[in-house]
A = this chain, B = another copy of it.
Amino acid sequence: MAATEHSLFAAGLARSAAEVEARLALHLDRAGAAGTPPRLLAAMRHAVLAGGKRFRPFLVLEMARLLGGREAVADAIDVAAALECLHAYSLVHDDLPAMDNDELRRGQPTVWKAFDEWTAILAGDALLTLAFEILAGNASSGNVSAPGLPPAIRANLVARLAAAAGPAGMVGGQMLDLEAEKLGEPASPDEQHVRRLQGMKTGALIAFAAEAGAIAAAGSSEAVVAARTYGEAIGLAFQISDDLLDVTGDVATVGKAVGKDLALGKATLVAVAGVETARAHLAAAVDKAIAALAPFGDAADPLRQAALFQLEREH
């Protein structure tokens, strides 16, 4: 496949990462000032500030920019920060010995390895809780949240994020993943099962990212629906490309163990349908994501490139 132009995506990713990391640093400093014990704060920083592509914040902020410009991005920055805290918590808990038992994440020791299990459990709990505090806005006098988002939008976003991340969303998807790995259930997962699992585990939060950016920008209901359709499709593409990387990737580039999903018997699309079928599904999901952006014209090019990039991911 010919190399595609990704420069707008790359620039948007870098800009979103810088913006969300500055905001996360502010919220963590504030948690420290509020009385968070130092060991807990250090573990939270380890989880949140140790890099990562910041793909979800990119989706939030780029969609807000597309629909509402600079002002909407300022309003949406806490949505992006909250989402990244929530994503970080999910990785900290997934890496635990009782879960995926991973020692390496982004080339660094995982939180339980750098600290210990109980600190990692609590750091994950703290990040999940902090995500909702950031999203709801600080109710007391020292409000550091973007003042622009009205309370009705905040309550709406909290409910949607919780639904995407909760027992019928991300946590439920992780449950299905571990049932396959640890209990061998179901004995023969089919493609439908894998799609449900991945839609819950990864897709729900990525779909929320794009949708939340549109909601934070007070987009029209048509724009919010288009954003969600885009988010669902790119979430699926992201998951399939992740599965493909597990079998075709290179440990130095990927920054974590490769071939592990397959060895663990995880239910992935590659495992149940093979590499070629997975690639076909990936291409279809990318097409769907790009089709959803049709109403937005050239200004949506960074989001278009983000979708196309899933075809060529190397990490």
Contacts and interface: CB of A to CB of B under 8 A. Distances in A.
Interface in A269-295: none
B122 A136 contact: no
Interface stretch (A13-21, A35-43, A58-66, A253-261): A35-43
Contacts of A51: none
The 8 closest A-B pairs by CB, nearest first: A133-B162, A34-B168, A139-B159, A98-B117, A136-B158, A129-B166, A151-B152, A126-B167
Interface in A57-99: 89, 93, 96, 98-99
A220 interface: no
Residue from A99, A122, A136 having most chain B Cβ neighbours under 10 A: A136
A34 B164 CA distance: 11
A140 B159 CA distance: 9
Interface string A152-168: 10111011111101111
Contact of A128 (B116, B118, B128, B156): B128
Given A34-B163, A151-B156, 8 more contacts: A34-B168, A35-B196, A39-B179, A118-B182, A125-B128, A128-B129, A132-B161, A151-B154
A171 B139 contact: no
Contact of A159 (B36, B128, B138, B175): B138
A124 B99 CA distance: 14
A171 B129 contact: yes
Contact of A162 (B89, B117, B136, B171): B136
A158 B175 contact: no
Contact of A36 (B122, B137, B165, B167): B167
Contact of A175 (B40, B137, B154, B196): B40
Contacts of A182: 118
B137 A176 contact: no
Nearest to A89: B125
A167 B129 contact: yes
A189 B42 CA distance: 22
A239 interface: no
A159 to B, nearest CB: 4
A126 B128 CA distance: 11
Contact of A122 (B159, B174, B196): B174
22 contacts: A31-B167, A31-B168, A35-B168, A35-B196, A36-B167, A36-B168, A37-B175, A40-B171, A93-B121, A98-B98, A98-B116, A98-B118, A118-B178, A125-B125, A126-B166, A126-B172, A128-B129, A129-B167, A138-B159, A138-B163, A139-B155, A140-B163
Nearest to A43: B175
Nearest to A166: B129
A169 to B, nearest CB: 8
Contacts of A200: 35
Interface in A161-215: 161-163, 165-168, 171-172, 174-176, 178-179, 182, 196, 200
